[in-house]
A and B are shown apart, each in its own frame.
Chain A
Amino acid sequence: MKKFIALSLLAFATLQALACGGWVRPNYYMFSVFNRTQMENTYQQEANKFWSSYVGDNYYDSMVEELSNVDPKEFDKSTNGIIVAAKNKRDTEMLTYLRLLNKYLNNNGAGDTEWNYPTKAQLANRKMVISQVKKQAMAYRGSKLKNQYALLVMRCNMTEKAHQANINYWTNTASKFKESPYKNWMKDIYAGALYNTGQKDKACEIYAELGDMTSIKYCMRKKRNLKGIKEEYAANPNSPSLTFLVQDFVNNTQETLDNNSDPEIMKYVEATGIYQNDIDGFIDFAGQVLKEGKTKSPSMWEAARGFVNYMAGHQDDAIKQLTNAQNLGGTQRMKDNARACLMLASIKSAEPTDEFFNYMLGEYKWLDKVAGVTETEKYGTDPHYVDVYERVTYDNLVPKLFRWGKTNTAVAVLGMACQHAAFSDEYSAVLDRNSSSQFEEFYNYINTKPNTEFEKFAISKLSIEDNMFNDMMGTKLLREGEFQAAVNYLDKVPLSYISEQGIAYYMARKDYNIEPWMQRQFMSPWKETETQVKTNAKLQYCRDMLNLDKQLANATGEERNQLLYKKAAMLYQASFKGDCWYLTHYAQSVNDEQQSNEFDFISTARLLLRDVEKNTTSPDLSLKSIFAQTFISGENMGYCFNENYDWNTEKTTYTLIPEGPHYRAMTRLVNYRNQFPDTDAPYFTKCGIVKRFVALNK
């Protein structure tokens, strides 16, 4: 029974972490038959790769961009890395090309966002220079830089808005070159020329073929619907634009269906009905395309209808079609896409069987490869499979594992996912929120033999080293108010380990003995620096607290009241609201709140202060206790006034909130003070909030 409760708590903590991470996970699209990097300037990146290998270790990406900053007159003295590399290699052919490229970059008008506007003569000169650069580029007869020079010709034509010249140059010359990134770049410019001379459909075809998503998105803006897909297919069943349009349709379907959970968007019920027709229509149409057999990409069409069926809730059809899609014709990316979609769809109807976990093991190993080896030739720098990894893991498998009661496996999968995803915080958040017993159980789980190969695989990616275990266990026990137990763990943590943590900066500078209501210890997180701590304040805190409790056990009267007051201050300091939050937490945020498995430091401090207030005979200690309670009330339940800043007058106005708890606390404080006006209490007389309260009450 104990185990069951612990696991349930962990599940609760985990789900809460997933839902309240401070921002919502993007709605990653699963269906991707285009390379994601095609959304960006692919050709520039490919060119950068060339320069990178040419320059060597000293290369950095902005080096290419900086070529445009080199004054052509100062070219020979330039320290630009590319120019220097060419000089060092005595590569005169390259230097001639770079001179020309530099002239082009300085005269193509791209710098017109600067304050100096060109004169008429400068504009004419620019025109002349561009014309000369083009002439010289066309005159190149070598072979080494043939692509670069040809590209330069086309760039000059583009600057001159000589679109027809670019069409001719491509048709007669550049189109005959061997395949290369430069050739694709030129083809893209050619497509632009077509677009600018009214041949929009032809331009769109090329953009789609090249995967220039930015351009094709613009070109295809009127066809991004089922009707457009049908028209495009009727015109050419193998139109490259269809790859874009089909992917776009599936992704839009995902967006629409996923957003239906949003009450704001649910308002458009009218739209859902119409959109559902499109979904059904698309499934039928994809079936028709496959039946006709005219397409060379049946894998894409089959996967598209499979994934749309999955989203529409037709699970059996989805599984069948996504499985089938992997064996049909199409690019490798299309087949990989079907595989990733099938992995996601399979989780929906899965049962916790060996067969399922073995399937997941195989797919995760594959996903590890495609998501992890983003730098390989095969996958380029495409982060799509990292997103797939995240969606499959966080939004599907992990919640499923929790539902099945496989809590430790779920947490292990979260940990395993950290290696790929940007959401590594979720694993840390779960571990951080765990109670000491939950954490210890998970620690034992990953250090013992798990049941399945899949679990072994997940656990093989994780480790919790001794220092981390002792530190986290000690901190958790401290957070739970188990000071003696905490000492047993914290005692084993070396200072060097603490000093590596972000909290070291605060630990070395914030003193938990200071009463927080008398003196705040604000420190800017922006000034965080590496700090070597001299003592483990967590350990010292636990020991001090144990000593204090010993003293309290024997104390009576005013001595007891003084000790209780001290204990209240120490308790508050260790809370998530206290200045010494580092005692119980590894980070602090305005969103922090009391957790169910934490000792309630704040409420306990308040109870102690009330106890002191009731029992002390000292007006001074009594006032301090009331003052402290008022402080805690304001800090935790909101202050007794609203603050309004008027942007027009730039003035702040304050209005009292008489119904609030802080107002009542302040009233009690001020009334008490009025009974003992002679008490020396500078903290009271100098307190800005007290002053404002008194002024507003006048």
Chain B
Amino acid sequence: MNRIITYILLLIVVTTVGCKPSGESVDNPKPAVYYWRTTLALDSVERQFLHDNNVGKMYVRYFDIALNDKGQLRPNATITFDDSIPAGIEVIPTIFIVNNCIERGIDTIAPLLVQRVLQMNETHDIAGVKEIQIDCDWTASTQSAYFNFLQIMKQLLEEKGMALSVTIRLHQLAMEVPPAQYGVLMMYNTGELKDSKQRNPILDKRDVEPYMKYVADYQLPLCVAYPNFNWQLLYTGDKFRDILYSEDLGDSTLYRKVSDNKYLVVSSIDLPNYLSSNSSYTYLNAGDTVIVIKPEAASIVQIHDALSHERPGINDQVIIYSLNNSSINNYTSSDYEKIYRP
């Protein structure tokens, strides 16, 4: 019986999305940002960025869904609202679902998730919310369960006059189209960390190219998210070890700058582990190197233009990942202007 329901739902998905014309852009496009921290508190630099770039939408990570220590699906790392969103900016609550949750029968949490988001809006006076976004790195093996979940989410939200959007990773372009009103094509984290000396793992044209052929005909309205962050990658010799979390590489007692983006660790130190889910530490040994990588603005713009060429309208709405004081200065105002332009 369950299988029959699955087939029916999939059929609905295929039928629904199959009718849409290709190349469609998203409704009501506006310059946008992702906000991906656990406390909502905007400083003056961040507020100025929103103002200068006429940002009209903020995709705010409300919480993650993860398995707790009892193996139950529960909200995790819920955002704390210590500040208000500047007037005139629409908030799109965004929920990150850890992929391993999907196998645990995620359908049942759809109403709980919607209710929790609505309650968070009400509690914190966040008005005008018209949409929820789901972010998940789903794969072929979790696709069916994930799409069922999205279908239920979509239905629940439509009943409330709201829309559902989803993130689309590059590899997902080659797969079936998820049931949602539109997708955000993630143009970051496109490469392999272990290969970061050869290619930029945040965004590299060579990693994007194989997927370009799917963009034009992807049967879901799309907009694009581009990165503005950098990574501090720790190496022991040639071996990639870890990503450091906003480490102050200007601290000369610990690091010595040896080239534009390369630092030598001159004194051993332990730092909280960024990649690990538990509270372990990364050991930086004297002699290790830290390489700071970010995509060149020109490279982002090149990919931006290539996408527009493949699918006009895809850049009508651009989202910068993410709004964060430490990332904003990675690019100039002029760079942002070029990235945000449709």
Contacts and interface: CB of A to CB of B under 8 A. Distances in A.
Interface stretch (B116-124, B154-162, B218-226, B313-321): B116-124
Determine chain B's interface SS by DSSP, over half rule: mixed
A270 B268 contact: no
A264 B285 CA distance: 14
A119 B281 contact: no
7 contacts: A112-B78, A115-B74, A217-B281, A222-B254, A224-B270, A265-B236, A647-B141
Nearest to B139: A647
B69 to A, nearest CB: 11
Interface stretch (A44-52, A57-65, A271-279, A608-616): A271-279
A225 B267 contact: yes
A112 B68 CA distance: 13
Nearest to B236: A268
A267 B75 contact: no
Interface string A244-282: 000000001001100000001101101111110010000
Given A274-B286, A278-B268, 6 more contacts: A115-B74, A115-B115, A117-B120, A225-B267, A267-B236, A648-B139
A226 interface: yes
Contacts of B272: 218, 221
Contact of B237 (A221, A256, A267, A649): A267
Given A113-B68, A117-B116, A222-B251, A217 B270 contact: yes
B112 interface: yes
Nearest to B73: A115
A647 B123 contact: no
Contact of B266 (A255, A268, A274): A274
B287 A256 contact: no
A189 B124 CA distance: 28
B67 to A, nearest CB: 12
Contacts of B76: 113
Contact of B116 (A115, A227, A650): A115
Interface in A541-577: none
A449 interface: no
Find the residue from A214, A265, A268, A648 having the highest chain B CB count within 10 A.
A268
Contact of B122 (A119, A252, A649, A650): A119
A53 to B, nearest CB: 28
B45 interface: no
B68 A274 contact: no
A688 to B, nearest CB: 25
A496 to B, nearest CB: 40
B271 A221 contact: yes
A647 B119 CA distance: 38
Contact of B119 (A117, A217, A255, A264): A117
B236 A647 contact: no
B277 to A, nearest CB: 15
A544 B272 CA distance: 63
B78 to A, nearest CB: 6
Interface in A216-247: 217-218, 221-222, 224-228
A226 B140 contact: no
A35 B284 CA distance: 25
A118 interface: yes
Contact of A272 (B78, B270, B287): B287
Contacts of A115: 74-75, 109, 112-113, 115-116
B306 interface: no
B86 to A, nearest CB: 21
Is the interface on chain A under 10, 10 to 19, 20 to 34, or 35 or more residues?
Answer: 35 or more
Interface in A426-454: none
Given A117-B123, A256-B268, A265-B236, A271 B253 contact: no
A278 B270 contact: no
Interface string A108-147: 0000111111111001000000000000000000000000
A214 B285 CA distance: 21
A271 B122 contact: no
A593 B261 CA distance: 51
Given A227-B253, A274-B286, A267 B268 contact: no
Interface of A: 112-120, 123, 214, 217-218, 221-222, 224-228, 252, 255-256, 264-265, 267-268, 270-275, 278, 647-650
B123 A270 contact: no
A268 B286 CA distance: 9
A134 to B, nearest CB: 21
A386 to B, nearest CB: 22
B238 A267 contact: yes
B78 A113 contact: yes
Interface string B261-291: 0000111111110000001010101111000
B287 A221 contact: no
Nearest to B76: A113
Contacts of B197: none
Contacts of A264: 239
A114 B74 contact: yes
A274 B112 contact: no
A228 B139 CA distance: 47
B140 A252 contact: no
Find the residue from B74, B116, B265, B286 having the highest chain A CB count within 10 A.
B286
9 tightest CB-CB pairs across the interface, nearest first?
A: A271-B287, A267-B237, A225-B267, A274-B286, A117-B119, A270-B287, A115-B112, A648-B140, A120-B123
B28 to A, nearest CB: 27
Find the residue from B122, B265, B285, B288 having the highest chain A CB count within 10 A.
B285
A117 B121 CA distance: 10
Given A113-B78, A264-B239, A647-B140, A119 B269 contact: no
A187 to B, nearest CB: 23
Contacts of A114: 74-75
A641 B125 CA distance: 63
Contacts of A227: 253, 267
A221 B141 contact: no
A275 B123 contact: no
A119 B119 contact: yes
A257 to B, nearest CB: 11
Interface in B239-272: 239, 251, 253-254, 265-272
A118 B123 contact: yes
Nearest to A269: B287
Nearest to B109: A115
Contacts of B75: 112-115
Contacts of A265: 236
Given A221-B269, A222-B269, A275-B268, A268 B116 contact: no
A274 B123 CA distance: 55
Contacts of B113: 115
Nearest to A124: B123
A217 B281 CA distance: 10
Contacts of A252: 268, 270, 283
Contacts of B122: 119-120
B130 to A, nearest CB: 19
A278 B140 contact: no
Contacts of A273: 287
A275 B120 contact: no
A268 B68 contact: no
B287 A275 contact: yes
Contacts of A647: 139-141
A225 B269 contact: yes
Contacts of A116: 116, 119
Contacts of B267: 225-227, 278
Nearest to B287: A271
A268 B287 contact: yes
A255 B286 contact: no
A116 B124 CA distance: 15
Given A113-B68, A221-B271, A267 B239 contact: yes
Nearest to B65: A115
A96 B112 CA distance: 36
Contacts of A221: 269-272
Given A115-B115, A115-B116, A649-B140, A224 B287 contact: no
B287 A274 contact: yes
Interface in B121-157: 122-125, 139-141
